[in-house]
């Protein structure tokens, strides 16, 4: 059964970029893993690729009508896709004015989709909770979707709420770190481990955790929590972990900070 999203700030031990073996809770960023390993390729499909149910035209797609769970069973893949499409279908502002982690306009970042706690306890109800993050406004948007009646029954928007990042967000953060002058140590350690140049996150296995400002943080870190910030755990493919815990990536401003 899928684990519920665990919210809260990560307090991690700072380190330097060096090839080390580190112990960390796999799956801490949600269900973003592939073949039992954390990896950027396991991200959920971007909302922009889901399509919006409608009367034809670009971006439209029929609602999936496949497998459906019962009671407190985890959402099926078909239910997840249907919930995500319905969540966007009736919210024109979210579909057109939001921004994703890569800066693409009109594509809110899909963070997670899961069965609501109320459905787990209610029996026959199938209410899905779909979380999007709008980087244009640093707003977390929760859509509660009734999968029996195929309608959105509640919308809650909040600021300062930071669930664990989706794999797509961890990948974007890793790309920022790789491209940053601050990421020189990561690039050097990767080349030492593989003999190859590190040019992007796709060459790594990456896991992300949210970072929230701590007392005394400055230089931009004090805005983490208001901004969406992550700390990364990176690994050479089938190789050693490279310690990048000393860096915090502000995805809202697309900046890398040395913590």
pLDDT tens for each residue of 66-101: 567 777 789 999 999 999 999 999 899 999 999 999
Q: Which residue is associated with the tokens 């697309």?
A: 254
Cα gap 125→174, rounded to integer Å: 39
Summarize the confidence of residues 138-163 as an average pLDDT: 95
Higher pLDDT, 228 or 70: 228
Helix (H, G, I), strand (E, B) or coil at 1: coil
What is the predicted pLDDT for the residue at 114? 95
Closest CA to 244 of 167, 175, 164, 169: 175
Helix (H, G, I), strand (E, B) or coil at 51: coil
DSSP state at residue 36: T
Put simply, whether the predicted model's pTM sits higher than 0.85 gets the answer no
Which residues, 6+ apart, have CB-to-CB distance to 232 below 8 Å? Answer: 170, 173, 174, 177, 206, 207, 208, 244, 245, 247, 249
Q: Which residue is associated with the tokens 């579909």?
A: 95
pLDDT classification of 257: cutoffs 50, 70, 90: very high
Report whether 81 contacts 64 (CB < 8 A).
yes
What is the predicted pLDDT for the residue at 49? 35
Q: Which of 48-57, 99-108, 230-239, 242-251 has the lowest mean pLDDT?
A: 48-57
Report whether 236 contacts 248 (CB < 8 A).
no
Summarize the confidence of residues 206-228 as an average pLDDT: 96
DSSP state at residue 8: S
Query: What are the tokens at 22?
Result: 């580190």
User: What is the b/e burial string over 205-226, where b = at least 16 CB atoms within 10 angstroms of the residue's CB?
Assistant: bbbbbbbbbeeebeebbebbbe
The partner residues of 110 in beta bridges, in order of sequence, read 132
Tens of pLDDT, residue by residue over 35-49, are 333 333 333 333 333
């Amino acid at each position: 059964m899928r684990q519920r999203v665990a919210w809260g700030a990560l307090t991690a031990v700072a380190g330097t970029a060096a090839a080390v073996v580190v112990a960390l809770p796999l799956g801490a960023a949600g269900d973003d893993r592939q073949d039992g390993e954390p990896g950027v390729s396991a991200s959920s499909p971007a909302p922009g690729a889901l399509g919006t149910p409608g009367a034809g035209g670009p971006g439209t797609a029929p609602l999936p009508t496949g497998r459906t769970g019962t009671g407190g069973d985890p959402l099926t893949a078909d239910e997840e896709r249907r919930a995500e499409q319905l969540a966007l279908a009736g919210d024109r502002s979210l579909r057109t004015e939001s921004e994703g982690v890569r800066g693409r306009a009109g594509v809110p970042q899909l963070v997670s989709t899961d069965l609501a706690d109320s459905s787990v306890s209610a029996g026959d109800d199938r209410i899905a909770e779909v979380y999007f993050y709008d980087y244009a406004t640093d707003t977390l948007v929760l859509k509660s979707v009734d999968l029996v009646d195929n309608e959105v029954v509640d919308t809650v928007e909040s600021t300062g709420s930071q669930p664990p990042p989706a794999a797509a967000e961890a990948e974007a953060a890793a790309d920022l770190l790789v491209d940053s002058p601050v990421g020189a140590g990561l690039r050097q350690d990767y080349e030492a481990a593989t003999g190859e140049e590190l040019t992007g996150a796709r060459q790594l296995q990456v896991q992300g955790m949210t970072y929230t400002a701590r007392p005394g943080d400055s230089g931009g870190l004090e805005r983490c929590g208001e901004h969406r910030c992550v700390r990364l755990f990176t690994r050479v493919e089938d190789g050693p972990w490279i310690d990048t815990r000393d860096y915090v990536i502000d995805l809202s401003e697309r900046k890398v900070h040395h913590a």
